[in-house]
Chains A and B, each alone.
Chain A
Amino acid sequence: MVELLWLIPSLPLAGFLVLLFLGKRIGEPVAGWLGTAMVGLSFVVALVVFAGLWNQPEHTYELSLFTWIPAGSFQVDIGFLLDPLSMAMVLFVTGIAALIHLYSIGYMHGDSRFPRFFTYLNLFVFSMLMLVLGDNLVLTFLGWEGVGACSYFLISFWFEKDENASAGKKAFITNRVGDWGFMVGTFVVFFALGTVKYTEFLPLAPGIAATTATFIAFMLFIGAMGKSAQIPLFIWLPDAMAGPTPVSALIHAATMVTAGVYLMVRINPILAASASWLPWTIAIIGCATAFIAATIAIAQQDIKKVLAYSTVSQLGFMFLAVGVGGYSAAIFHMITHAFFKALMFLGAGSVIHGMHEEQDMRRMGALRKLMPVTAITFLVGWLAISGVPPFSGFWSKDDILAYALHKSPVLYVFGLITALMTAFYMSRLVFRVFYGDARWGESADAELANLDAHDQSATVDHDESDAAHAIHPHESPRTMLIPLVVLAFFSAIAGVMNLPFTEKLEFLDHWLEPVVGANQAVLHLGGGQLAFELITSTIVALTGIGLAYYVYLKKRIDARRIELPFFANGWYIDQGITAFMGGIGRKAFEMIALFDSVVIDGAVNGVGRATRGGAVRLRNVQNGYVRWYALMIGVGAVVIMAFVLTQVNF
């Protein structure tokens, strides 16, 4: 059964090819169904393969299709490595992707490029599967870049708007910065270990010099930072929300952005072999990312921006987990996060859809009654991410915090603060969207105008606000609701994968044991400590929710005292980088271009001009006077005489 592995990526690829060539002819609903079916089938195959994998020794199966790049000792195969880690990834990638495909059929209804959307989505799923299934770094890089390209296509899917186009470009280029690290890391791996195949070089990792391992890990970490939106390369992710919402859900929340985490977990032997400062760096960057993104999320007005920063924040958590050695915790959180974040994005999409492309939370409110299914499923997601037991997010986040505490109390405290903020801003979102007053009527404008005066960062498009007057929110079609329900279900119960109470309940840890077990930090949680951590987490989550309740529903505290402009502007990191690139960077580029045209080209043309100029001057010698010519002959003769006489030895 496990031999069917090749089908998993092939099905979406086939879907992609069919849609690419025939998409337009197939037309709107069918193209969507086709794409969904392909991914759904892929999920089914994945389940079958999963069942087959149990019988494999060490739960590992390798399949090599053909040699991709053969060059002497450098051999790269198109080959798949199916082990517990990639199996887990494959299952949740295909599963969630199938749901989101289904959702998109409803969401993208009526779009002029409907088939194209599914073409890209299928290609994305294919690339993502290559990323997780690839048995070597180069093939992973293929998937890595493939998802990047798809992300680019999909972010700028509605390219008629310049922001969308810019956002796509920004995502791609920022990712490329990370790719630089990925490539250099790959080079070093090959240089130091002579192969890029995971199963060959990872076992060698314990033997290599710490500095080499550190360098490899650091370079790959740079790659991961780009893809997984860690500070400072996180700037692209919030902008990426310009894409259609299913894209945000699938790519920029559930799957692609977790690729960095996947990579880090995949190379855990190298992380283990590297100098101790490197895991610390990863943990600190993860923690800082989580913290900073959470503060930013607090002050966002755009519903998708909140979710985007929340994603960044959660990715920070995952990196924190990687840094502190909690690889299985990272994967655990990755999976639960995939469920609830996809859920919330889709819910947000449903809201946006129902609100006729309105994304500003200040114009929402009290949607609970108009969109009951959306609201209820969203609430599940909210509870999950806020860390309210027994929803999945509680368990996974707690797992990470446990590892963090094991490493350092400071990280733990920061993690808790971030968790508090997470609960706060998610509650803020829920309260403003689904509760409170309906602000999507005419009365909203005056209030908004008032707000705008204070808050420059408000992303309100005044042209569209006219259209917003006639908004009549409605519930979304069934194709969109089914995925919501499914995801809500899993968001609620996914925690059972890895309950911390007894060893036996830690299914995921056991499952991942062959991959990460050797390098996983060892936790010996006594019952008391466990209880302490669980209770602390619960309190923190409830505190966050309660705080938001007071601020946004009861309005006891002025929201503006919390939603600082500094946060709203994302700590000015994005602006800073943009200003730098657009200012000094651009200047530098212009200077170089100027150098090219003035100095280098100028030198060439200058030689030409100098020759010409010299010739023009020389031309004056040929002045037409015959006596002058005779003089030239005479002088020439004299010079020759002079030379000749030097040859004479008198």
Chain B
Amino acid sequence: MTTNLPLAYLCLAAILFVIGGVGLLIRRNPLVMIMCVELMLNAVNLTFVTFGQMLNDISGQVIVFFVMVVAAAEVVVGLALVVAMSRRRPGANADDLRLLRG
């Protein structure tokens, strides 16, 4: 099964995933961080689709829908948290969240 890997797609997905991950590590704006997570999830989606295509299996595509739903739910919560935070501390970025440490 691994003989005819669609490497290009998989690599693209991997690169996207890494970009998302690195983006989360280097960006301080919570919103951007959430977006980075979304990017990672979408990279995974791409992977799923690719594999689904490769395996000639529908479930790869179906899973993507699930992931999208989950991602949406996550974003909802994330945005709510961001809103709550910026209401209390306007303009705060991720690095300002340092009350808890040690």
Contact = CB atoms under 8 A, between A and B. Distances in A.
Contact of B100 (A619, A624, A631, A634): A624
A645 interface: no
Contacts of A622: 101-102
A627 B100 contact: no
A625 B28 CA distance: 10
B25 A631 contact: yes
Contacts of B101: 622-624
Interface string B77-102: 00000000000000000110111111
24 contacts: A619-B102, A622-B101, A622-B102, A623-B98, A623-B101, A624-B97, A624-B98, A624-B99, A624-B101, A624-B102, A625-B94, A626-B94, A626-B95, A626-B97, A627-B24, A627-B25, A627-B26, A627-B28, A627-B94, A627-B95, A630-B24, A630-B25, A631-B25, A634-B21
Nearest to B98: A624
Interface of B: 21, 24-26, 28, 94-95, 97-102
A627 B97 CA distance: 10
A626 B24 CA distance: 10
Contacts of A624: 97-102
Contacts of A619: 102
A626 B99 CA distance: 11
A619 B100 CA distance: 12
Contacts of B94: 625-627
A631 B94 CA distance: 14
Q: How large is the interface on A (under 10, 10 to 19, 20 to 34, 35 or more residues)?
A: 10 to 19
A478 B48 CA distance: 123
Contacts of B98: 623-625
Given A624-B97, A624-B101, A626-B97, 16 more contacts: A619-B102, A622-B102, A623-B98, A623-B101, A624-B99, A625-B94, A625-B95, A625-B98, A626-B94, A626-B95, A627-B24, A627-B28, A627-B94, A630-B24, A631-B25, A634-B25
Contacts of A625: 94-95, 98
Interface in A498-550: none
Contacts of B97: 624, 626
Which of B26, B97, B100, B101 counts the most A-chain CB atoms under 10 A from its CB?
B101
A20 to B, nearest CB: 67
A631 to B, nearest CB: 5
Q: Report, nearest first, the 10 A-B pairs whose CB atoms are least far apart.
A: A624-B101, A624-B98, A626-B94, A619-B102, A631-B25, A623-B101, A627-B25, A630-B25, A630-B24, A622-B102
Nearest to A623: B101
B23 to A, nearest CB: 10
Nearest to B100: A624
Nearest to B28: A627
A648 to B, nearest CB: 11
Nearest to A620: B102
A276 B2 CA distance: 96
Interface string A597-634: 00000000000000000000001001111110011001
A626 B25 CA distance: 9
Nearest to B101: A624
B31 to A, nearest CB: 14
A634 B40 CA distance: 13
A619 B25 CA distance: 21
Contacts of A623: 98, 101
A624 B99 CA distance: 7
A634 B22 CA distance: 9
Contacts of B24: 627, 630
Nearest to A624: B101
A625 B24 CA distance: 12
